[in-house]
Amino acid sequence: MGDLTYDPEVDAAYATIGRPIRPGEAARQVPVALPEGISGELILDFDCDGHLLGVEILGASELLLRPEAGEQLEDRMKGNRFS
């Protein structure tokens, strides 16, 4: 289906779309402009045929915070995967 991993050292998450991505398969990276006042970065990874492979999320602890639970991203991650 897909997977979400998180690296707390660089505060970055990566969401794969579908199957795992093979080394070198991401042929094009496209940054996404976020609305004013939203910190972080999103980068879409596409293969050579234009299929979306995954999304890199920089500043993930801000973008992926669950305000209703009041939890920090690091508190929700186990083994670098969402539980």
List pLDDT tens digits, range 39-75. 899 999 999 999 999 999 999 888 885 544 444 455 5
pLDDT at 68: 46
pLDDT at 82: 46
pLDDT at 6: 87
Count CA atoms closer than 13 A to 65's CA, side-chain side: 13
Take residue 55 and report the two structure tokens written for it: 């999304």
pTM, entire model: 0.74
pLDDT at 71: 47
Write out 35-71 in H/E/C secondary structure: CCCCCCEEEEEECCCCCEEEEEEECHHHHCCECCCCE
Q: What share of the chain is helix, strand, coil (3-state, %, to 5)?
A: 10, 45, 45
Take residue 10 and report the two structure tokens written for it: 């660089």
Distance CA 18, CA 54 (A): 8
Q: Is the pLDDT of residue 31 over 50?
A: yes
Mean pLDDT of the chain: 82
